Every structure is written in structure tokens, then in C-alpha cells.
Structure 1
């Protein structure tokens, strides 16, 4: 049997057993020589530094320290960084790419629970469920009789901002429903939108015509406050804004003004800052539904990320192309 390459975990140590439960860890150790008790949370730690000298594969995750030139100098055999989470922006540096190290991310696997969360919120928002729950809680009796007007998901118009991994996965999940789905993305043309089965609109037109707007664009300098006062004013009265991307994409001051006016509603899994200060009006506004950054992989979902990394290692060691290789050329405009 050929000698297994040396690998090391680089992430918050407490996450390792959740991302790599026993069965997944056993499969991983079939392919690589790895010590689950040695987890790099600090690349300057003496034990970690010694281990880096023989490490060929880094398995990274949330909490991975920066892969700066000094760290890479200490890891002359490193040939691949396989990330058991989403974005690699927080810890990769130009030196990683300059040295030709392969980088892979489980962002595609992490996209699924975010898309599932968003699908659920779209369907619940279409029923105006959150407002009706509050009315029932207050009155302790049905606040209506017979058919409730103004709600329902038949023909509801859903606008997706950003054809990211999550945006595309959401489009797939929405297909079985009787919804009208449109997309705004400056990097997608009419042919691309047609292949996805959605209508391509400008951001202004999407905001103006959608009952529900859901944000799936990356966080970049260009997308900060992508949805600001001007854009919020273009949203139709009674419409709903969903944000599971990054809090910085929405101008929260302008959003709070719109919510106080009662013109639109918002479902936010991400905010700016995060967490919100205790006195934020978003906690108490009746038309704001806030969740604590739960849309991404949580609980048993993180095990999917570990399985993705093991699959990538199997590809790497068999000489096949990585399925989820990160392209440096598009990294700046990716999540």
C-alpha cells in the first residue's frame, strides 16, 4: 500500500468532531495520515510549526489562521488546501496562489442549507405567516373568517439578486412551485438566465416587480449597500426582503425607515453589525423577522462539509480534477 500523504486540520478545534464525525474521520484516515488531536488554530504554535514541515494537505475550516508567506515557508510540501466551509477569502493570501497550491471549498455543500432556509422563508412569507402568527398570539382567536385575501404562493413573484452558488441552488429548489422567478446579476446574460429557467431583469426592474426579493450576491466593495435607500424605495408596497448573504449588502438605516413606515417587511439572517446591538429597533419591529445567522450549515449539516472534503481528497490522490476547485480569477466577485 502506498504511503499516505500527511494532512493537518487548521480550524477551530471544537469544530473538528462535528465536521468529521467518527465514520467520516475513519474514511478520511484511509486516504491521509492525520492526527485529529493536532489542530492548527495558530500557525506559530511550536507543535503546529513542526508538523507543517511534512504537511502536504491542509484541511481548513472556520477559524483557520491566515496562510501568509511565513506559514507557507514552513510548509514546503504543501500542495492542497481543502476548505470544509464556504468562502476562503478570510485566510488565503496572494502567496497561496503564487505558489500554485490547489484550493478547494465546500461552499457548494454549504449553499444547500442556505437555499433550503430561503425556500422555507419564501413560502412562509407568501402566506404572510409571521404577521398572522402575531395576530393570533395577540387576539387568541382567528382574526379573520373564510378565505384570507392577499396571501398565497400561486403566481407569487420572486426576485433573486445574484446567481451565486446559493442563488442557483435556490432556483433549482423553486422549480416545483407555481412561482414566477426572475434574476438580477450583471455577470449573467439572457442565454445564461434562459438556461437557468428564469427571467433576467435589471436590479431596478426586479425590485419594482417582485413580491419577494432575496439577496444572494457576494460581499465585495461594489456590493456594499447594494440595497440602499434608493433601491428600497423601488420595492413594491407589501413586498418582502430576505437577506441570507451578508449584512453589509443592505443599508440598515434605510431599511429601518422603510419598516417603520410599514411599507415592506424583512427577513434577515445576517445583519450589520452582527450580532445587532441590544437596542436595535429591528428586534421589535413587527414586520422584521430576525434569525441569528442560522441559514448556513449548522448541527448535523456540517457533516456534509466533511464528506465533501473527503471526496475531494479521493479525487486529488487519484489524479482527478478537484470538483470544487476555487478559481482565483473569480474569487474577488465570489462569496
Structure 2
């Protein structure tokens, strides 16, 4: 097997984030459940945009953020995601290329616009996402380049892909190519409500060996196994998946592997500005570490460092070199 060209190929919804600070009262007035992701239509996206306060725009999307984090660590990342041939699509492609991520998915011409997400950030740093999928939901098996999949040590996919039927087919197609090439496949559960919609299918992917590495936060994992007890969920996960990383907020992360269950402390953050992208950047560090043959515990430590950087500022992607931060923290990368 040839050495991988990419540490990870990240596949997900290519979304331009529109971020705005707000108060809890605004969420209540808009009938929004704090800390979750809501799929909305174009009309709802417009009404929220009109109602929200001053905003900034940034290329985002869960898997895209993870690819950006890997690049900031000095890794080689690729991304598959569908954008339209419009202004937002051009911005998204420019941003990915500018940070060194391989992104060559053909753009959609005509029809739906590039996806956008209205992200409302409350004073505690929690984010509530309202996502119009637009062109992103039309990612299809035809957009999966076998050469790129085969050249990636790990193919990483977001659970949100399970909503659009074509993207689900693309997910399965990519996983098959990756395994045929002797590579690993990873899934992040994305959101507790996403898990509620597709619990049986996600468990099937884990138990039939499609997924080699699972990412979840504690809420998503408890939802997956339909239990309020995190320890019970971790025991069930250990029986189902060879390697998993579970984030637990300020308590850091939990690594589940053949060596057992291990806890890793969070990297301290002086000022929590915005939790957007925290889980995505944790995945960046963990995937980079695993792709570079790092011990899973050290990979999780690198993940908490990457998450801490993005929590400290507005926006879902690093603004400081993660490679420099990692080296300052003693990582040999």
C-alpha cells in the first residue's frame, strides 16, 4: 500500500457561516432550541437573517472546519463538498485553497444556492445553528474522486450527510473505496437530533465495520445508545467500535479503544468566546494524530488543544497556527 498523500479526506456540507451574537431571549422568541442545529428552508434563512443582529461571514461546515484544522496543524487535507457557481461558492472555494486544502468538487450550475448557516452565539459561547443546505445537499457519488479517497489515510464524514439521500449514497461509496484501498473510515455523529433521526443506521455503520473511528460528544453518544448514563453508553461503544473519541465539554475528552477507556483533560481557555467549531477542531487534532501514528491519548490531547484555540475567538476555524501552538505545548509535529 502506498503512503497516503493526505492525512484525512473530510466529506461534508460546504456551508458559509453567518455568525451573530445574541441573547437567550432572542432564541426563545424565534422558537429555537439552544445548542442544536436546525435544518431550515430558504425563506426561514432569510427571515432569521433579517431578524438577527450584526453578523460576520466565514466559510464553515463541520467537515470543512476539520479539514482547515488539519491544514493549520501542518497536515495535508482534502475536502469534498458541493457549492454552487455563485458568490458564496466562489468565496468558499477561495478560502479552502488559501489555507492549502485540496478542494476540487465540481460546482453546481443553476438551481440551488450555496448553503448557509445562521449561527446565533449566546453570552455563554453556546451556538445555535440554523442551516439552509442549498447546493450542499446535492453532493452525489459522482463527486467522489476515487483517487483522492484512496490517497487519504482516513476518510472522515459528518453525520449531517445522512439527511440528503444523494449525500448518503456518496458516503457509502467513499467508505467502500477507502476500505478497498486499505484506509480507515471515520464518522462524527454531528448532533443529538441527527442521531435521533438515524440511530439504527448509524449503529449499523459502526457494527458492520463501515466505521473504524467514531467521534461524538456525550449528548450524542447517550442518544445513540438511548441511555442517560454516559458510562453505560461508553461500555456499549467499546463493544461496538475499535476506536472512538468522545468530547465532554469542559471535562475534556474520553478515548475508547482496545486498551480501555481513558480520560483526557481539556486544554484551559482563558476566555470562551464561541463554541462554534470546537468539536470539529478536536477532530482535526485527533485525526491528524492517528494519521501520523500518534498514540490515541496523545491524539486526543492534540484535539483538545485545537479545540481550545477555536473556542477563544469568534468563528469556526483557527486564526493562530495550530502547528506552532502544538510545538509550544511539546508535540513533535
Larger radius of gyration: 1
- TM-score over 0.5 for the alignment? no
TM-score category, normalised to shorter length: 0.3 to 0.5
Question: So what's the TM-score if we normalise by structure 1?
Answer: 0.32
Q: Which has the higher strand share?
A: 2
